[in-house]
Structure 1
Amino acid sequence: MKRQLLALILLCSLLTGCGAKPVTLAPAEDSAPAIAYVPLDDRPDNVERVVYLAESLGYTLLMPEADDYRTRLSGQPLNENGTQSGDRADLYEWVLAQEAAGCDRFILSMDQLLSGGLVNSRSMAAHEVITLSDGTELTELELLESLIQTLAADENNRVWLLESIMRLAPTVGYDHWDLEGYNALRAYGMEGRPVLTGDALSVEAIEADYRLSGSGTLLDPADFDLEQWEVDEYLSARSRKLELSSRMMELVDQPECAQFRVLIGIDDSSEEDSIQKNEIAYLRSLLREGDALLSGVDDLAFKAVAKLYLEETNWSGAKVSVRYYGGMEDQPACAYDYQPLETIVAEHADFFDLTLTSAAEAELSVLVLTQPADETQKAAYYDQLIDDLNDCRQAKQPVILIDAGNGLYGTDFHDALTERTELGWLLSYAGFLDMAIVTGTAVSHGIARYAFLQSGTPTTATESAFAKTLADSVLKDFCYKNVVREDILAFVRNDLAGNPDNFWQPDIDREAILARLESGMEAETAPVIENLEHSNFISADSSRQSYAELGWGSITLGNYRFPWDRAFEISMDIQLGDFTQPHQQFLGIYYR
């Protein structure tokens, strides 16, 4: 009896974390290398999660004032520049100031610098002059040329230019576009155009084909319930953006720009021979060695930070096993992607110098849950994935986990992961937001972490930043996406008679929405936080000769907010307690 009581006491101690000794890591380096970063906009994937990733690799991220890159939806308070979009003049001058101060690493969103953000780039139908603080006026092309020439003059600079191919339709709730107009323009954009190849690819030829069907006949806007002026405005915005992208590629294709890299993302797309197809082919033909054009836009900064770190640490690649569960890897992960999932994974593997191989020969595994080919087998699909994940855990083979199920598993997959796996042990996880970015998000974070484990210097700051980005991704996907967000959507529509896509049209009780968010997240995050707090994570080992782990400490969430005053995504602050010596299993019972 005494022995059983002692075992019970010990078990309770282990399960509650009692007796786990705190671990003191080295403080952050005072001279951490800095990256000057102009984000796409002010959403979490472009701000705090990029900060976490950079800090997890030992970088300091320098950013301009938030108001200079903020996007405001229709009816919301304007930015200090009197517009809904970012301040291009302030941003240009800020970049030049960082260069003058000696910064030599730059990650710059061209959508922000030239258009005031991603959303505004879809609506600018004409080139607009930019007035600097001293009254100097620059055209957009002049600003672009000056920016590249200035940064190219310092051969020590390492510059990543982030660009996007305009999606098939503008943004609902911005400018004058509503959902009906968005759907009509998206149908117009999805219509096949004459396909151009080889020498026939040019800006002028692409623009000439914008108005033609695949057979070469003129598309009638009325067939898509559109007015002629709506199509004219839409196509003018496409032309402006393509012309700027083309000029950017011409400018960097010079010997003095060898230190520049261009990373182009394909915004919401489709499998069809859409209006994007010639644009994609044309810009792909202009890529230099080291440049890339990949699916996804909101993950561009993740990929640039990770790739910058790999290049600076002389990354030699890794052998990776990719396993799919669900049977739909040969299809796009959602209706807004333009290639099959397995093709997109392969392209990202190539970008990060990964060699695809068998699980037995791999250094790490990428496990991907696809949409279910057979609805009756959903549990079997994710059960097999979880079994393989736990086998990797036993074998100490790191795992990148991608949920590309597009919400078709409801909360069942997340609940099973929480109950049966050690979430905090993952290298990275992605499943939140659009399916087009989950591959780039998960792979960039996972490979960056794997490379850091091999060559980085762990500090309290790097390990905390790593833990925050993993916790942020897991908690938002498991708790907000399919549970709390659905409650918020219903609350805004039914109780407040409002618009969940814009809390200002009509102007509704935003404090009530925030309170609803806080209470919902407090309840839903509890079991996931409990899992994370009793997880271990793979830690960098100073000898580089052996596998090492540390235990997670406490996790506290707070300061919830809706960045664009809409229900689609949230931000939150994450506070972490001290890391500990590894948590232990007892009698085969999981850490909870």
Structure 2
Amino acid sequence: MKKQIFAAVLACAVLAGCGPVPWKNGGGETAERTTIAYVPLDDRPDNVERAVYLAESLGYQLAMPETDDYRTRLQDQPLNENGTQYGDRADLYEWVLAQEAAGCDRYILSLDQLLSGGLVNSRSMWEPEPVTLSDGTILTEKELLDNLLTTLAADPNNQVWLLESVMRLAPTVGYDHWDLDGYNALRAYGMEGRPVLEGDALTISNIEADYRLGSGGTVLPLPEFDLEEWEVAEYLAARTRKLTLSDQMLETVTQPGYENFHVLIGIDDSSVEDSIQKNEIAYLRSLLRQGDALLSGVDDLAFKAIARLYLDETGWQGADVTVQYFGGTEEQPACDYDYQPLTTIVEEHTEFFDLTLTAENPDLTVLVLTQPADEAQKAAYYGALIDTLNECREEGMPTILIDAGNGTYGTAFHDALTKETELGWLLSYAGFLDMAIVTGTALSHGVARYAALQSGKADTGMNQAWALTMADSVLKDFCYKNVVREDLIAYVRNDLGGNPDNFWQPAVDLDAVQARLESGMDAATADVIENLEHSNFLSDLSGEEIGWGAVTLGNYRFPWDRAFEISMDITLGSFTEPHKKIFGFYYK
């Protein structure tokens, strides 16, 4: 009987003309944009389209080099135009100088890309390689970095964010000559504790001298790790090269005239604290200035820089935030690639964004699902989070959602969220990558969105860009990562006899893989898209809301020709008046 009543009420509402109505306001006219010259870490989605969406949601536009200049190619894949697997350092250097000559005054620059041709290649360059410019000039890496920084420092109006990373514990599988066995062996070697250096003993030369020593001061025997001398020599030389370039950059920006330079360093895939990274992290941290930061996570560096640039330029005064954990394991690392407890990573990021942790009267709330302390209580953990999320929705509390469960809940959590919550109302969501990256991604987007709403200047274009990044994050995590990707991995491996980590080793039928992706996404995304299309979102902090319009997906692609990540085009229909709620359900 209740179902019949609900159906009748809903039918009357539709007949009365309460379907999608274009929203005349939508946030107001799109204002002129400030340009940021941006050299990305590489060509993966988080560093390209997701960065574009975030920037545009804050009233910026990103100027970027040609994709080929920062593209990474895995082993046996077609090479870039420069004849290599990595980015074109000469083209990128000249591109930045051209932006400066054209009058640009906002920069976000990945030094891994500018100095090494990308994150992956920075792990495999074990000796300095000079750079030949288009006019034949040859620069050492040191000269290129010095010229770049000096040129940008000459204009006092420039705001420059330099993004750097602490090299991870092992190189990339399927790049250069490294395979899974080599990766595992070097990661185990890198995870071993080294002698801890402090005070005056904390120097690059001492760090390098201790690379081969265990925490007790004796040489780590390579046969115990199934490693050969040449492998370790390359690995350690790459670490030294990268640390030396980071040192040069940090020493340069401490000089007068670099006050408008900001350094953000990310710790790439780590493990326990006492690893080969510990002395490197301590050394780099000792050189940071006020306002610089060294945080867990690398793939989210651009997000953090874009968000922090916006906060600084709009007079951000911070906010009070409540962080609630569900699952019971927040006091330990959230996955094998984190070296700190989840609570520590969250607290470091909240401090970076000037958020004050509070238990009462917060401005916004962060809800975090951790791995389950008790496997039998999984449903209770995410059920309690969903109840809290729905309470936040009823109260109009701006909310950020982080899935730090690292896949331990399967599809159950995401299915429940899709059925029981209004996904499009969240400030931000993240859950696709390692937990340090997830934390930085969710807080970057959520805090930036909150600040944009607080400013009262979130126009139509900014709202559309925010909706794009929200849809991208939810759809990829809920539908691709936990559903379609698993099917694709099995299909490539079992049906095509290929390698899901590299479709060119051996070469597989790319058209067949593409067709499998498209059919899988068409089926998997329907319910989530319906949820988004029935959602409202906050258009300001007074509680005003706007309804989502249609969400259409297309042009699916594999940027690295592997199953791990995808890119896709998202088309949004016009925003509408707020969707109405009947018996707990929003309808269009």
* Normalised TM-score (structure 1): 0.97
Per the alignment, residue 272 of structure 2 pairs with 271
Question: CA-to-partner distance for each residue in 1:532-578, whole Å, 9 max, x for gaps?
Answer: 000000113xxx7x221100000000000000000000000000000
CA displacement at 1:21 relative to structure 2: 3.9
1:146-545 paired onto structure 2 within 5 Å: 146-358=147-359, 360-540=360-540
Shift of 1:385: 0.4
* 1:344 partner letter: I
Q: Deviations over 1:327-385 (max 9, x none)?
A: 00001110001100000000000000000001x31010000000000000000000110
What's the CA shift for 1:4?
Answer: 8.2
Does the CA-based 8 Å contact 1:13-1:19 persist in structure 2? no
Equivalent residue number for residue 66 of structure 2: 65
Instruction: Give the Cα separation in 2 of the matches to 1:5 and 1:338.
Output: 53
Other-structure match for 1:556: 552
Contact map agreement 1:20 1:583 (CA 8 A) in 2: no
Paired amino acid for 1:261: H
Cα deviation for residue 591 of structure 1 reads 4.1
Q: Distance in 2 between matches of 1:131 and 1:182?
A: 32
> Does 2:24 correspond to 1:28?
no
1:10 to 9, 12, 20: 12
Superposed displacement of residue 8, structure 1: 4.0
Mapped contact 1:368–1:403 kept (Cα < 8 A): yes
Deviations 1:212-255 (A, max 9, x none): 00000011211100010000000000000000001100000012
Residues 72-151 of structure 1: matches in 2 within 5 Å?
Answer: 72-151=73-152
Shift of 1:169: 0.2
**Contact 1:23 1:578 (C-alpha < 8 Å) held by counterparts:** no
What do the CA deviations read for 1:249-304 (whole angstroms, capped 9, x no partner)?
00000120000000000000011410000000000111000100000000000000
Partner Cα distance (1:66, 1:17) in 2: 45
Distance 1:280 1:5, change over 3 A: closer
Unpaired segments ≥5 residues, structure 1: none
Distance 1:72 1:161 in 2: 24
For 2:7 and 2:495, the matched residues in 1 are separated by 52
Per-residue deviation at 1:435? 2.1
C-alpha displacement of 1:490: 0.4
CA separation of 1:331 and 1:13: change in aligned 2, threshold 3 A? farther
**1:9 CA displacement:** 1.2
Residue 589 of structure 1 deviates from its aligned partner by: 3.3
1:257 counterpart SS class:
coil
Native 8 Å contact 1:531 1:591 kept in 2: no
Q: What residue identity is the alignment partner of 2:526? A: A
SS in 1 for 2:107: strand
1:578 maps to 2:579: no
Which letter maps to 1:587? F
Amino acid at match of 1:23: K
The CA deviation string for residues 513-550 of structure 1, in whole angstroms up to 9 with x for no partner, is 0100000000010000000000000113xxx7x22110
- 3-state SS, counterpart of residue 295 of structure 2: strand
After superposition, the Cα gap between the structure-2 partners of 1:6 and 1:211, relative to the gap in structure 1 and judged at 3 Å, is: closer
8 Å CA contact retained: 1:325, 1:382? yes
CA distance in structure 2 between the aligned counterparts of 1:10 and 1:450, rounded to whole angstroms:
37
| Deviation string, structure 1 residues 167-203 (Cα, Å, up to 9, x no partner) | 0000000000000000000000001100011221111
Matched position secondary structure for 2:505: coil
| Paired residues of 2:20 and 2:549 also in contact (CA < 8 A) | no
Query: What's the % identity of the aligned pairs?
Result: 72
Matched AA of 2:245: L
- How large is the Cα RMSD of the aligned pairs? 1.6
Q: Which 4+ residue blocks in structure 1 deviate beyond 6 angstroms?
A: 1-5
Letter in 2 for 1:7: V
- Alpha-carbon distance between aligned partners in 2 of 1:503 and 1:5, rounded to the nearest angstrom: 49
Partner-residue secondary structure (3-state), 1:207 = helix
Q: Is the 8 A contact 1:318 1:363 kept in 2?
A: yes
Give the conservation status (yes or no) of the 8 Å contact 2:328–2:373.
yes
CA distances 1:358-415 after superposition (whole Å, capped 9, x unpaired): 1x31010000000000000000000110000000001100000000000000000000
In structure 2, give the amino acid aligned to 1:383. Answer: G
Q: Which residue identity does 1:100 align to in structure 2?
A: A
Say whether the 8 Å CA contact 2:307–2:448 is kept in structure 1: yes
Distance 1:588 1:231, change over 3 A: closer
CA distance in 1, matches of 2:93, 2:23: 45
Are the aligned partners of 2:334 and 2:341 in contact in 1 as well (CA < 8 Å)? yes
Q: State the Cα distance separating 1:5 from its structure 2 match.
A: 7.8
Q: Give me the whole-angstrom Cα distance separating, in 2, the residues matched to 1:510 and 1:3.
A: 51
Whole-angstrom CA distance in 2 between matches of 1:260 and 1:377: 48
Please give the alpha-carbon distance, in whole angstroms, between the structure 2 residues aligned to 1:461 and 1:261.
28
